[in-house]
Chains A and B, each alone.
Chain A
């Protein structure tokens, strides 16, 4: 093993360890149906990194967006996306579907 690959392996190991230590990853899921989020209120733990998957059961595209979470991502019709958020402080973080704002409203409750 040459110096470079040893260094690379060590770096990788360090990053993985740090990742495992600081980010207890929690998975959460949202569904979009008839331009509404289900559940409209999603509860997740504070202080954890969240892997949020969003399944669009509508045939039309939507954009998951949240100013409070600083996130925006398009989810195509009948598609699924993953968005990483947090770790977050306790509180309420509203989100919405940018393409159907009248109905697609939800809130992430962090506690």
Chain B
């Protein structure tokens, strides 16, 4: 039960960290609970489907189906996060101003939320499909119902608890910086996912590695440690990155930062205006 719980915990933790950032980034938005909930639901369903067809996916495209599938959904998540972060750069200040003045939810329209629904669904699907395959194996090798159910319960409760810790920690950020902080977190999250996608494409021999191990900081923080794994999920930390991963990471981070700079202006001018009004 403990072994099962530990594996489930590790996978749930990765998804929970991403969901926590998304929840923080959509703070004060009407109906976000419904959207995030739907994302989790869709992710769980997707995980079961992906696990059921794992052999088909693995055998597809001369054996590199699994890598191409992973890389594609990771890059889809990157695009969604990028779009949301850029959207927030122009609307975030309005949002926090509104929340400070009225202290309640804001209607933003469904587009930014549907982008994040996809991100949540992808995070849950990726980690969930591993859990489903693992549990299927456990059940097939004769593990009891109690051991499996207990392991799931332990892992899910533990993983979700850490997710909540992160979420409430983030809520402690002062309102004036809140959405710029969550936006930067989203940027790093997207860059990390892009680097993971590059990793899969290297593993499949679709892209050159450009140096297998450009540096090695595993003595400082190993990929195997819980902290290493957490940083891997949150900011794309990798103790031994390949050159191509660094390229993907940097290009994604720079592209989103540029997008936020370029399209982040309307909100600033809006705030200038409201400041001017306040002075007048």
Contacts and interface: CB of A to CB of B under 8 A. Distances in A.
A63 B212 CA distance: 21
A76 B54 contact: yes
Contacts of A51: 205
B108 interface: no
B3 to A, nearest CB: 7
Interface in A14-41: none
Contact of A60 (B137, B199, B213): B137
A74 B133 contact: yes
A13 interface: no
- Say which size band chain B's interface belongs to: 20 to 34
A67 B66 contact: no
A88 interface: yes
Nearest to B67: A73
B24 to A, nearest CB: 28
A9 interface: no
Contact of B58 (A76, A86, A98): A76
B7 interface: yes
Contact of A99 (B55, B63, B134, B205): B134
Contact of B130 (A63, A76, A83): A63
Interface string A60-103: 11110001101101111101111111111100000000110110
A74 B7 contact: no
B202 interface: yes
Given A74-B130, A75-B58, A86-B212, A60 B240 contact: no
Interface stretch (B186-194, B218-226, B256-264): B218-226
B99 interface: no
B29 to A, nearest CB: 35
Contacts of A80: 63
Interface string B44-63: 00000000001100110001
Contact of A87 (B66, B205, B212, B218): B212
B242 to A, nearest CB: 7
B137 A68 contact: no
A59 interface: yes
A5 B133 CA distance: 44
Nearest to A83: B203
Nearest to B56: A76
B54 A81 contact: no
8 contacts: A60-B137, A63-B133, A76-B55, A79-B58, A81-B58, A81-B66, A86-B212, A102-B3
Q: A-B pairs with the 9 shortest C-beta distances?
A: A60-B137, A84-B205, A67-B223, A76-B55, A61-B133, A67-B224, A99-B134, A82-B63, A76-B54
Interface of A: 51, 59-63, 67-68, 70-71, 73-77, 79-89, 98-99, 101-102
